[in-house]
C-alpha cells in the first residue's frame, strides 16, 4: 500500500487534508509539531483526528521556534490581532506569521517520508481564504517540490516524494463542504490562534473559519466566546 506523511496541526484545513489523503488510498503517517505555539491545544485535536482516520503512526516533534520568536503565535509579548476585516487580511503579512515555519515543517516531513519510504507529503495549505502568509502560495510549493527532488535519496534515484497541497485553490467554504462529504469530525478540530477553553471568535483564523461555515451552509460545531461574523 502506498504511504503518505500528512502534516497535521489539528485544525480544519489539515484535518480535511488528511481525509483527502485517506480517500486517495494512502496509508497515513501523521506528523505534528509542538513548536512553542500559544495554541498548543491544537495538538489534542491532532491526536483525535489521527486516531479517527486510522493513522498508522502519529509522531509529535518538539521544536523551539518560541526561542526564535518573531510571531504572535510563539511570543506572548506580541498581541494576536482581533476583528480584522477579512477582505484585507491578505494585504499584508500579519504578526501571526511564524518565520519560515512551513519550510521547517516540510523539511522534517521530507526526512520522515524518506525513513518511511512514503510516496507523498500532504499539507493543507490554502492560497484563497488565508491570512497573507508567503508560505501558503502555490509557487512556494512548486519550488519545494524541486527541493524534495534534488535533495533526497529517493529523488536522486528517480522516485521523488510528491508534495501534495489539494486545498491550495479552494475557498474555506469549499474545504468545509469537501470535509463534510468525507466525514471530517470538525467538532474535534481547533483553529483558534489562542489557547482558551473556547475559541475566541475574533482572531483571523476564527473569523475565516466562521465565515467558511456560514458560506458552506453548515453550523460550526465548536464553541466560541464570540461568534459574530
DSSP string, 68-118: H--STTT-TTSPPP-S--GGGGGGS--TT--TTHHHHHHHHHHHHHHHHT-
CATH number, domain with residue 147: 3.40.50.620
C-alpha span between 133 and 99 (Å, rounded): 10
Domain count, the chain: 1
pLDDT digits (tens, 9 = 90+) for 134-152: 888 899 999 999 999 999 9
Q: Is residue 74 part of a domain?
A: yes
Q: Is residue 109 part of a domain?
A: yes
Q: Is residue 27 part of a domain?
A: yes
Q: Is residue 197 part of a domain?
A: no
pLDDT over 70 at 227, yes or no:
no
Q: Is residue 206 part of a domain?
A: no
Q: Is residue 198 part of a domain?
A: no
Percent of residues, the chain, with pLDDT higher than 90: 72
Q: Is residue 220 part of a domain?
A: no
Q: Is residue 137 part of a domain?
A: yes
Work out the mean pLDDT of the chain and round it to a whole number.
91
Confidence of residue 57 (pLDDT cuts 50, 70, 90): very high
Domain that holds residue 26: 3-190
pLDDT digits (tens, 9 = 90+) for 114-123: 999 999 999 9
H helices of the chain, in order, are: 12-23, 42-52, 65-68, 101-116, 138-150, 153-156, 172-181, 204-216
pLDDT average, residue stretch 159-185: 97
Copy the grid coordinates of residue 19.
Answer: 481525509
pLDDT over 60 at 228, yes or no:
no
Amino acid at each position: 500500500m502506498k504511504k503518505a506523511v500528512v502534516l497535521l496541526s489539528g485544525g480544519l484545513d489539515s484535518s480535511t487534508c488528511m481525509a483527502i489523503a485517506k480517500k486517495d488510498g494512502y496509508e497515513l503517517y501523521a506528523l505534528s509539531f509542538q513548536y512553542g505555539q500559544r495554541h498548543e491545544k491544537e495538538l489534542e485535536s491532532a491526536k483525535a483526528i489521527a486516531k479517527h482516520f486510522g493513522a498508522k503512526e502519529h509522531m509529535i516533534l518538539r521544536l523551539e521556534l518560541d526561542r526564535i520568536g518573531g510571531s504572535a503565535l510563539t511570543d506572548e509579548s506580541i498581541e494576536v490581532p482581533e476583528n480584522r476585516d477579512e477582505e484585507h487580511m491578505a494585504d499584508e503579512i500579519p504578526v501571526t506569521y511564524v518565520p519560515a515555519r512551513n519550510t521547517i515543517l516540510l523539511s522534517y516531513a521530507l526526512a520522515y517520508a524518506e525513513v518511511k519510504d512514503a510516496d507523498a507529503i500532504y499539507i493543507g495549505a490554502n492560497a484563497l481564504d488565508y491570512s497573507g502568509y508567503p508560505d501558503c502560495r502555490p509557487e512556494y510549493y512548486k519550488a519545494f517540490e524541486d527541493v524534495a527532488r534534488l535533495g533526497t535519496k529517493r529523488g536522486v534515484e528517480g522516485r521523488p516524494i510528491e508534495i501534495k497541497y489539494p486545498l491550495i485553490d479552494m475557498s474555506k467554504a469549499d474545504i468545509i463542504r469537501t470535509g463534510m462529504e468525507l466525514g471530517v469530525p470538525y467538532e474535534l478540530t481547533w483553529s483558534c490562534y489562542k489557547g482558551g477553553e473556547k475559541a475566541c471568535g475574533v482572531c483571523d483564523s476564527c473569523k475565516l473559519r466562521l465565515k467558511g461555515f456560514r458560506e458552506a451552509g453548515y453550523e460550526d460545531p465548536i464553541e466560541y466566546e464570540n461568534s459574530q461574523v
